[in-house]
Chain A
C-alpha cells in the first residue's frame, strides 16, 4: 500500500474537517484566480482602448488625464471648449479654404494654410464635441472621418464595421445634417434600430431634450471599446442644436482682424444654414500625424499656445494604469494570497487537532516497521493532498466563475473571458505556492508524528 493511499485514508477518516479545509483552500485559490482574471481583463481592456487610433488629443488647457478620460472613455466631468478655428489650423491650405467656404462666417486670414499643416501632412485631424446625452449614453458630435480613419484593437489595425446600416453622411440627401450611428450596446439597451430616430439631452442624462430628431443610419459592430456605449451624430447637426452655439466671445479669437466669409451656395437648400465660424466650439481634436516625430513636434507646438494643450492618450492611459489600476490589482492579489495563507493555517489546525487521536495509529504503523520519516511523510502528504485538491477545485471554480460571467463581461467590455482565456502566467506560480503552503502547514503536525513515542502510545 503506498503512502498516498494511507494519507488519503487518514484524510477520509477526518471526513468533514477535511472537506472544510479543502473548501477553504478552494475558495482561496478561486479568489486568486478570479483576481488574476479580473486583472487580465482590466489590462486587456486598457490595452485595447489605449490604441485609440490617434496619437494626440488636443483640448482646452487643463488636466491631460481629464481630457483623455472625457475624449476616449466618455467619463469624468465635462471640460472647457476649444474654438473650431483651432481645428482648421491642422488642415492644409486648400482643405482649410474649402472648409471655410463651405461653412462661412467670421475668420481671420481665410486663405492661409493651417499653421500645423506641414507637420500634419499625411495624417488626419478629427473634431469632437461632447456634452450631450442619449439616455445614459454620451453623445459624440463628430465627422464621418471618425469611423473612416480611426482604428482600434491591440494593434490599432481593426477598422470600424457596421453591424447594420452605414456611416453617417455630412450632407445626407434624406436627413440633412441630422444623421447618427450608435454603438451596439446603445442600440440594444435603448431598443433602437436603423431607421429609428432619437433626440439628445443637453448637459446631463436628465437634461432637457433638444427637440431635434437624429436619424439612426448605422449601428457600429462590437469593438470592446467605450465606443460601444456612445451615440455618434453629425457634428454639423450637433452644432446647430439649441445652446450649442458659442454664447460668449472666445478669448482665443479676440484681437484678430476678422473677415466675414460668405458661404458657397449649397447644392440643395437642405445644406444651407450651417452654424457659422465664430460661433462654433469643439471639445477636442483627435490627431494622427504621419509620424511619431511629428506627434512630438505637434505636442510641443500646441502646448505653447495660451488656451490649448495636446496630450498623448496612450501616455495618460499608461499613467492611469500604473498609478491607479496596478496598485489596486496588487493589493487585491496580496489579499487573496492572505486568504490562501489563512486556508493553509486552517489545514494546519485541522490536522494538528487530529494528532492526539492519531498517536495510537502512528504508533501502530511504527510497530509495523514504518520509520519516523515515513509517518512524517504521510502527514505531509495529507496536507499536500488537501491543498492540491482544494487548489484544483479552486482553480476550476475561479475559471468557471469567469466562464459564467463571460457573457456579461463581453457585454460590458467586448472581451471574451471564456473558460481559459483569462489564464495568466501568474497562475503557474499557484502550484509551487500551494505546495510550499501545504508543506509549511503540514510540517508542525508532521513533526508531532515524527516524535510520537511508539512504546507509550501502544499501551
Chain B
C-alpha cells in the first residue's frame, strides 16, 4: 500500500550547510495496517509525514502509494493524490475557524474528485459522537471535540491512508483515549491504513506495530552526536 525506498530529505540551513534529516532505506505499510511512529523530538517524524503526503518534496528515493510513484508527480498531481487518497490529522490548529463542524468535514471532500457526499459528512460526525454539534464553529467546541471533527474530516474523502501527527498531544488522558479508540475503530471499519506519530508510550502500547524513527532512519544515526 505504502512503500518507501531510499527516501532522503535534507534542509539547507541558513549558514549554507545541509542538514540531512531523513534517509530511510525502506518502510512498508500494508493496506489497513496501523503503525505507530515514535522517536526523538526533531528526529524528522513530521518531515517524513509531509514527504508522504506530498506537502514536501523529497530529495531522492521513492514513495509509492497504491502503486503511484509520488516522487515523479508534479505538485498538482501530488495535490490530487492527497485530496483523494490521504487523510491528515495534525496536532493543533486543525480546523478552519470560520467554518462549522459540518463544513470543516465537507472541506475534507471538496478538493478530491469524489462526490460531495453530505450524508457521509453527517455519518462521520455522528460516528465521532458530534451528531449534535454539526453547526458549531470550532471556537464553540472543546479541544477534544475539535480533534474528533478533525478525525472525521480526515476520513471524509474515503482515504486509503491516514496520517496523524501527534493527534492527542494537546488532549487530556480521558479524551486522548477516546480519540485513539476512534481512530483505531474507524480505520479498522473502513480498512484505512494509518501512520500515527506519538510520544506517548500509553498510546503506543495499544498498537501491535510500533516503529522508532531512529531505527529506520540512517540519517539520525549519522547526525546523532550533535
Contact = CB atoms under 8 A, between A and B. Distances in A.
Indicate whether A and B interact.
Answer: yes
A10 B103 CA distance: 12
Interface stretch (A24-32, A73-81, A156-164, A367-375): A367-375
Interface in A350-366: 360-361, 364-366
Interface stretch (B15-23, B32-40, B105-113): B105-113
B98 A12 contact: yes
A208 to B, nearest CB: 76
Contacts of A368: 82-83, 88, 107-108, 110-111, 153, 157
Interface residues of A, number: 24
B198 to A, nearest CB: 16
A276 B24 CA distance: 122
Contacts of A370: 79, 83, 110-111
Interface in A416-459: 454-455, 458-459
B84 interface: yes
A449 to B, nearest CB: 14
A371 B88 CA distance: 16
Contacts of B157: 368-369
A1 interface: yes
A9 interface: yes
Interface string A1-23: 11001100110110000000000
A9 B110 CA distance: 15
A455 B55 contact: yes
Contact of A361 (B80, B96, B103, B112): B96
B55 A369 contact: no
A13 B98 contact: yes
Contacts of A13: 97-98
Nearest to A364: B96
Interface in A364-415: 364-372, 374
Contacts of B97: 13, 361
A371 B99 contact: no
Interface in B38-69: 46, 50, 53, 55-56
B75 A372 contact: yes
Contacts of B106: 1
A13 B95 CA distance: 14
Interface residues of B, number: 32
Contacts of A10: 98
B116 interface: yes
A266 B53 CA distance: 112
B84 A369 contact: yes
Contacts of A9: 96, 98-99, 103
B9 to A, nearest CB: 11
B207 interface: no
Contacts of B55: 366-367, 454-455, 458
A1 B103 contact: yes
Nearest to A11: B98
B220 interface: no
* Residue with the greatest number of chain A CB neighbours at <10 A, chosen from B46, B93, B106, B116: B93
B116 A366 contact: no
B176 interface: no
A366 B99 contact: no
A270 B34 CA distance: 121
Contacts of A369: 79-80, 82-84, 86, 111-112, 157
Contacts of B116: 1
B224 interface: no
Most A CB contacts (10 A, CB to CB) among B93, B103, B110, B157 go to B110
A371 B98 contact: no
B88 A367 contact: yes
B103 to A, nearest CB: 6
Contacts of B84: 369
A459 B46 contact: yes
Given A365-B96, A368-B82, A369-B80, 8 more contacts: A2-B110, A13-B98, A364-B90, A365-B107, A369-B84, A372-B76, A455-B56, A458-B50
Please name the 3 residue pairs, one residue from A and one from B, whose CB atoms are nearest each other, closest first: A369-B83, A13-B98, A369-B111
Interface of A: 1-2, 5-6, 9-10, 12-13, 360-361, 364-372, 374, 454-455, 458-459
11 contacts: A1-B107, A9-B99, A13-B98, A364-B96, A365-B107, A366-B55, A368-B107, A371-B111, A374-B111, A454-B56, A458-B90
